């Protein structure tokens, strides 16, 4: 009872403004790219996918507003949305810097949407966005990786056709906007790759009741055998009822209903819950409905949830109350033809399947916020992930950069926190500089993350610079197994290895993980060399057998140390000139996957 009371009041004090889901891919037309529903955990029947051919123009002088571009009825170029102009799939393939650009397309509002709110959604646009309808501004957004929407109801009428114009500003060299691994130089180099400008995720619109559901936060309470749902609404009135049903296929396992009020909390008991886990990734279907006093359904949303628990105890990570060893791979989510955008929904699923075929049980999603469809497939397939921001690119001592980061990070967590496959948050990666300003920012981000999602551990800064953290993570690319063991073995006074002890707080017994290691370069043949500056960590193995021996030796060291509770190998695929992946950049195999899997899946030897 005490735990239920805690969770109940915990929900009251957390601000929930996010999105939620769907069970199966839903498409409206195979003639447009990425036709599936982009928000698979919060699905309505009335929606229109706006991907496909738009007109566009670059604005190198950032003078488009002066020249009246907001009133455009069409620009001279054509671009295939949602692919960025740097990509080949966009049909543009412009590789140089694009400080600003404009998009335009015709927007037709279905006649049957009469009396509904019309919401215009953007999966992600890098970086600053302003949208116009027939020259009138409908909203602005700052952030290159978070989803956002504009209520365009005041600007349109059902059955009408309008000109939608989208203006984008993007300067990844400014120091104030997170840009991840997008290269600040013209040519990709080191671990920086081709940039992404503008629209890079699905654009869509939907019709919603004035009293429709705005968002739901779903918290599985495994110990109390219940789901806790907090609901937010666009508007409320006294005669409305909110109803939730939990379904196992066609069988209803739990239901509740109550009078609507914004922020209401609905606990739903499940007598014999089926737990979600990598071995058995079971998902319950959820049906949310808002009804009036006559029983008429004003809004219906379909979603799903997984009953699973993640917590920390005795220097270990626990999944569903059992210690769980993490065998993760670094996944940066780049594609040769789409850059940050997967060419298809199937490609997202395939990346997870490739990782699992290599023996990994999850991924550290690195310096990129992955689209919701990826998390959907991870939920379906039982694939554990750490959510991370694209923190590189900002001046960590800048107040404006900190503000930009905090706003975007909040939107990221709120959008993705309902996914059972996400088991940890990593706001920053290798945040070495910034002094006292950085320390303050890391504390603020840690606090913000826990206020928005108290159910998952937070890794404040992956790679050894820790200020306030639930997980202790270190990076090492030592290529000699004997030297790696000397590095990682506990010292005589039982202390762990810290890469930069002078820059971090003292280790306090958190779960200790090596969340970057390996990175061994291997290029199967000369025709697979991507660039003249292709590289990997350490000296290149002379033979394929030497690669296997080194990989096994490094992994055995980590598996054999009892104080280490997980690892993350660098990386899943080659990315441009960084050719140290388990797979080639085009996702073809480099290695005998049975042998790779036997190494990654090897039982721990703790003698």
- The boundaries of every CATH 2.60.40.10 domain in the chain are 2-17+210-310
- Is 236 within 8 Å of 261 (Cβ atoms)? yes
- Is 605 within 8 Å of 559 (Cβ atoms)? yes
Separation between Cα atoms, residue 339 and residue 5, nearest integer Å: 46
Mean pLDDT of the chain: 94
* Residue 29 scores a pLDDT above 80: no
Separation between Cα atoms, residue 253 and residue 352, nearest integer Å: 30
pLDDT recorded at residue 494: 86
Between residues 24 and 328, which one has the greater pLDDT? 328
* Residue 53 scores a pLDDT above 70: yes
pLDDT recorded at residue 2: 42
Residue 11 binned pLDDT confidence (cut-offs 50, 70, 90): very low
- The boundaries of every CATH 2.60.120.260 domain in the chain are 47-208
Q: Is 374 helix (H, G, I), strand (E, B) or coil?
A: helix
- The boundaries of every CATH 3.20.20.80 domain in the chain are 321-600
- Is 213 within 8 Å of 299 (Cβ atoms)? yes
Indicate the DSSP class of residue 50: -
Mean pLDDT, residues 219-245 taken together:
97
pLDDT recorded at residue 23: 40
- Using N-to-C axis directions, what is the helix angle for 399-416 and 372-381, rounded to 10°? 40
* Residue 478 scores a pLDDT above 90: yes
Mean pLDDT, residues 163-177 taken together:
97
Separation between Cα atoms, residue 40 and residue 25, nearest integer Å: 8
Separation between Cα atoms, residue 472 and residue 495, nearest integer Å: 13
Separation between Cα atoms, residue 170 and residue 167, nearest integer Å: 10
Residue 500 binned pLDDT confidence (cut-offs 50, 70, 90): confident
pLDDT recorded at residue 12: 42
Separation between Cα atoms, residue 420 and residue 40, nearest integer Å: 13
**CATH 2.60.120.260 given to domain 47-208:** yes
pLDDT recorded at residue 30: 62
CATH number of 321-600: 3.20.20.80
Q: Is 62 left (phi over 0), alpha (psi -120 to 50) or beta?
A: left
CATH of 2-17+210-310, one of 3.20.20.70, 3.20.20.80, 3.40.50.2000, 2.60.40.10: 2.60.40.10
Q: SS3 for 81-139, per residue?
A: ECCCCCCCCCCCCCCCCCCEEEEEEEEECCHHHCCCEEEEEECCEECEEEEEECCEEEE
């Amino acid at each position: 009872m005490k735990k239920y009371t805690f969770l109940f009041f915990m929900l009251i004090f957390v601000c929930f403004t996010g999105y939620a889901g769907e069970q199966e891919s839903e498409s409206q037309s195979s003639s447009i790219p990425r036709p599936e529903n982009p928000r698979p955990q919060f699905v309505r029947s009335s929606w229109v996918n706006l991907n496909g051919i738009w007109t566009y123009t670059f604005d190198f002088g950032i003078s488009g507003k002066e020249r009246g571009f907001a009133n455009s009825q069409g620009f001279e170029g054509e671009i295939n949305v949602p692919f960025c102009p740097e990509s080949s799939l966009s049909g543009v393939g412009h590789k140089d810097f694009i400080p600003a650009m404009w998009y335009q397309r015709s927007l037709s509002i279905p006649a049957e949407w009469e009396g509904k709110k019309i919401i215009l959604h953007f999966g992600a646009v890098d970086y600053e966005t302003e949208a116009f309808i027939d020259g009138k501004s409908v909203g602005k957004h700052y952030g290159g990786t978070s989803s956002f929407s504009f209520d365009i109801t005041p600007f349109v009428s059902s059955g009408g056709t309008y000109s939608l114009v989208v203006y984008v500003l993007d300067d990844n060299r400014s120091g104030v906007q997170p840009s991840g691994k997008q290269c600040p130089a013209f040519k990709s180099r080191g671990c920086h790759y081709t940039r992404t400008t503008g629209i890079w995720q699905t654009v869509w619109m939907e019709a919603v009741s004035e009293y429709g559901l705005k968002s739901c936060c779903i918290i599985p309470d495994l110990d109390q055998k219940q789901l806790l749902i907090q609901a937010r609404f666009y508007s409320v009135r006294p005669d409305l009822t909110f109803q939730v049903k939990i379904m196992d296929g066609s069988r209803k396992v739990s239901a509740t209903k109550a009078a609507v009020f914004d922020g209401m909390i609905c606990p739903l008991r499940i007598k014999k819950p089926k737990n979600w886990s990598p071995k058995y990734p079971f998902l319950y279907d959820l049906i949310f409905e808002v009804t009036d006093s006559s029983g008429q359904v004003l809004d219906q949303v379909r979603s799903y949830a997984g009953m699973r628990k993640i917590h920390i105890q005795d220097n270990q990570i626990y999944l569903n109350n059992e210690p769980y060893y993490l065998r993760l791979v670094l996944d940066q989510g780049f594609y040769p033809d789409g850059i940050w955008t997967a060419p298809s929904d199937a490609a997202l699923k395939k990346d997870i399947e490739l990782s699992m075929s290599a023996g990994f049980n999850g991924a550290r999603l690195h310096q990129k916020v992955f689209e919701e469809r990826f998390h959907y497939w991870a939920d379906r397939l039982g694939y554990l992930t750490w959510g991370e921001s694209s923190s590189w690119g900002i001046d960590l001592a800048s107040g404006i950069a900190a503000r930009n980061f905090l706003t975007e990070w909040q939107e990221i967590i709120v959008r993705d926190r309902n996914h059972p496959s996400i088991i940890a948050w990593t706001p920053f990666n290798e945040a070495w500089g910034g002094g006292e300003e950085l320390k303050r920012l890391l504390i603020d981000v840690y606090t913000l993350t826990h206020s928005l999602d108290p159910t998952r551990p937070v890794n404040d800064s992956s790679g050894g610079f820790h200020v306030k953290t639930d997980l202790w993570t270190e990076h090492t690319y030592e290529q000699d197994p004997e030297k790696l063991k000397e590095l990682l073995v506990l010292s005589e006074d039982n202390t762990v290895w810290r890469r930069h002890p002078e820059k971090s707080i003292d280790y306090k017994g958190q779960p200790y993980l090596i969340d970057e290691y390996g990175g061994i370069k291997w290029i199967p043949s000369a025709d697979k060399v991507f660039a003249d500056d292709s590289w990997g960590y350490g000296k290149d193995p002379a033979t394929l057998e030497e690669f296997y021996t080194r990989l096994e030796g490094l992994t055995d060291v980590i598996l054999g140390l009892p104080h280490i509770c997980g690892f993350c190998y660098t990386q899943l695929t080659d990315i441009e000139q960084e050719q140290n992946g388990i797979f080639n950049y085009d996702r073809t195999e480099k290695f005998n996957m049975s042998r790779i899997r036997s190494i990654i899946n090897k039982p721990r030897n703790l003698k």
